[in-house]
Structure 1
Amino acid sequence: MKLQILFLMMIFLGVPQMSSAAIKTEDFDSIKLYTLKNNSGMTVKITNYGAIITSIIVPDKNGKAGDIALGYNRVEDYINAVDKPYFGAIVGRYGNRIAKGQFEIDGETYSLAVNNGENHLHGGTIGFDKVVWNAEPMEGNGWQALKLTYLAKDMEEGYPGNLEVSVTYTLNNKNELKVDYLATTDKATHINLTQHTYFNLKGEGEGTILDHELMLNASKYTPTDSGAIPTGELAEVKETPFDFTKAKTIGKEIDEDHQQLIYGLGYDHNWVIDREDEEGLTLAARVHEPTTGRVMEIETTEPGIQFYCGNFLDGRLKGKSGKPYVKRGGFCLETQHYPDSPNQPNFPSTLLKPGEEYETTTVFRFSTKK
């Protein structure tokens, strides 16, 4: 099968009303939906608004295709979503939290938007999930790709430096979706990009994900305070509900009386990936859904992975199939550096300086087992 890239305009019902200035009327003509397909039954749809993955269609163990990514049919719904769940988006300039919305570089303190209690979350008020990226389709022998680029200007959302960012999604015939991140800056800054798709391997809108079997290749995690800011400790998962070193269902211990589960209302923590190679791709997670037989494996060059199991979904949001997204109706596995790294000197650094390149890769691999 010859691979093709399809271009589809997003569906609009007039210009959406917004409380922020993220999207101007003239931007709407440049918002499109791009479709990547392979010859193994997999389809990925991506919009250049927020670099959002809107759909991931993969076969189950019987060959039946289904959409496993939570999301919407209309761009308005992404813009106006209640509680801003970041469905499918690239989040940045800094994914996850920064304590009190501040960090210091070379003796100068930078103040960011405080949009999550007293802390900064996912790049601020208008993060990378709320801007229009430039898009460039690409194609080769056995693969299709979409390269998305964005220039975050100096002091945008309080971050120093003009940051040139590219995110490239590549789909191949092995049902692998590779995400390559690249960035450069003209002034020292902090960066921590990640992909924020919510998955339900039974299918989007098909109930909870508590029966999914999860393995995390991590013997330690980063406990947090009540505001989800790491304490600085790298805690052993052994003999705690956070031990996923051997596969178990997500719901097995999620409601145990453990202070970290109380803080997170379930799992919403960063795990420290066990890796022998500090720079290469390493298996971070494997998820299996028994009824469909779908399997997702994640490899990454990043040191951490945030596992979030949809604790704040409550049924108010309805997705592409019209079904409500119930509590724990989707999970995220966000490859990343650790939360609040700019203020945690013992964590791997997220500082990017002029002349350096920020370069990371994550691969989502899909398969089935009977």
Structure 2
Amino acid sequence: MKLTQQKYDEDKFEFTLQNDNNMTVKLLNYGATLEKILLPNSKGKLENIILSLEKPSDYDKERNYLGGSVGRVIGRIKDGLWQESNKKVNRFVLNENNKTHSHGGYEGIDTQIFSFQTQSNDDSCSVIFHLIDPNGHNNYPGNLDLTITYTLDNTDTLAYEVSASSDQTTLCNIANHVYFALDGPNTSIESNQLKINADNFLPLDKDHLPFGKENSVENSVFDFKKFAQIGATINSNDPQIKQEGGLNHPFILNGDPIAAELKSSDKTKCLKMTTTNPSIVAYTGNHFNHTNFTKNIGKYGGIALEAQYPPTNDIRLLDIVLTPDEQYYAKTTWNFTF
């Protein structure tokens, strides 16, 4: 195992983790970001299999969420409103179309600079990122004490662990927003094979928020209980897919130890994902269009499998309330065969 770090700006660092099989992971302390996952191909050459910007210093130039740790609340809060028990309603900035509070606000944790520690031994290496998100930042109550740990081991597994506590009742639902592109850069995920162990999904309204009840995936383009080609779903005429321009939907996991799997089009690379979270939001990069700092990324260039508590239109947001006597903890792992 090897672990190195390199300063690329005044207080910003890039970390390189490499295991004995030459699997290599690059991380940034800006946003506790997963910058690259590099796997050796049949000729031993390293290939990046997630969507990345051209260089580390690009990440703070434009907010794209690529590999970022997103929160305090990933996804959307309807009308930016949260009612804690019977107390007054908390109001968060409407930073998406003036209708919803999205991805933690204008200065979510993916835009913050984390302090860090590193650890390594013969079998694994880790970077432990730490942040105090202060009371009132982005209108969230409480000082949030946040630790995010990435660990690479010799089984070709990358683990992502989030723990947090707060001195006031607040909201917490943090997830990594990495986009997987197993065929490599400048490709489409349409011919990738996806499996999600979910019996139900949540349909979305025009503001990308769930409405109504969970729908069964049976007899629908949302059925990924067996491997299915992503393109068959995102190119279908399903009204939900048409509305979103592809997948952007929460899948309610059924408790299988493997939450999701993804295979490259030639089936030489495979991802197996586990999570302690109850849902995965599958998003197929519907908005990318080769512009600005993501000029290297087009529509359907990657798929995000965001492990989180599912979004809701209930103003109480009960599943993601964190009280001072609780510890938030979530773990997601990505295991690769190549």
- Shorter-normalised TM range: over 0.9
Please show how residues 33-48 of structure 1 align to structure 2 within 5 Å: 33-48=14-29
Q: Which residue of 2 aligns with 1:343?
A: 315
Equivalents in 2 of 1:318, 1:123: separation in Å? Answer: 21
Q: How does 1:235-314 map to 2 (within 5 A)?
A: 235-275=215-255, 282-291=257-266, 293-314=268-289
Where does residue 7 of structure 2 map in the other structure?
A: 9
**Secondary structure of the residue that 1:215 maps to in structure 2?**
strand
Within 2, Cα distance between the matches of 1:287 and 1:303? 19
Query: How high is the TM-score relative to the length of structure 1?
Result: 0.87
C-alpha distance 340-158 of structure 1, shift in aligned 2 (>3 A): farther
Of Structure 1 and Structure 2, the greater strand share is in 2
Q: 1:142 corresponds to which residue? A: 123
Task: Give how far 1:342 is off.
Answer: 5.9
Residue by residue, what CA displacement relative to the aligned partner does 1:71-104 show, whole Å, maximum 9, x if unpaired?
12434421223xx321110000001111011101
- Looking at structure 2, the residues matched to 355 and 318 of structure 1 have their Cα atoms a distance apart, in angstroms, of 42
Distance in 2 (CA, whole Å) between partners of 1:232 and 1:129 is 30
Question: Aligned residue for 1:86?
Answer: 65
SS at match of 1:260: helix
Is structure 2 residue 148 aligned with structure 1 residue 167?
yes
Give CA-to-partner distance per residue, 1:95-141, whole Å, 9 cap, x none.
11110111011312111121112001111100011110011111133
Contact 2:33–2:68 under 8 Å retained in 1: yes
Partner of 1:315: 290
- 1:203 CA displacement: 1.0
1-structure distance, mates of 2:304, 2:22: 23
Percent identical pairs in the alignment equals 29
CA contact (8 A) 1:232 1:344 kept: no
Please give the alpha-carbon distance, in whole angstroms, between the structure 2 residues aligned to 1:317 and 1:252: 29
**Equivalent in the alignment of 1:324:** 296
User: What residue is the counterpart of 2:74 in the other structure?
Assistant: 95
Deviations 1:264-313 (A, max 9, x none): 1110011000116xxxxx31110001336100111000000010011101
SS at match of 1:362: strand
Distance (Å, rounded) in 1 between the aligned partners of 2:280 and 2:226: 16
Q: Which residue of 1 aligns with 2:111?
A: 130
Q: In structure 2, what is the Cα distance between the partners aligned to 1:32 and 1:5?
A: 13
Counterpart residue number, 2:332? 362
The SS at the match of 1:214 is strand
**Residue 65 of structure 1: CA displacement?**
2.5
Runs of 4+ in 1 over 6 A off after TM superposition: none
Determine if contact 2:70/2:103 at 8 Å carries over to the other structure: yes
Distance 1:171 1:35 in 2: 10
Distance 1:344 1:264 in 2: 26
Alignment check: 8 A CA contact 1:202 1:292 kept: no
Is 2:51 the counterpart of 1:70?
Answer: yes
Counterpart CA distance in 2 for 1:62 and 1:99 is: 49
TM-score, reference length from structure 2: 0.95
Kindly state the Cα deviation for residue 63 of structure 1 after the two structures are TM-superposed. Answer: 4.5
Task: Measure the CA separation in 2 of the matches of 1:210 and 1:318.
Answer: 23
Task: Report the residue type matching 1:7 in the other structure.
Answer: Q
Q: How many residues align?
A: 336
1:352 partner letter: L
CA-to-aligned-CA distance 1:45-73 (integer Å, 9 cap, x gap)? 10100111111101245654211121124
Pair 1:352-2:332 in alignment: no
Conserved? CA contact 1:60–1:294, under 8 Å: no
Distance of 2:42 and 2:247 partners within structure 1: 28
Q: Name the amino acid aligned to 2:220.
A: T
Tell whether 2:194 aligns with 1:214: yes
* RMSD of equivalent CA atoms: 1.7
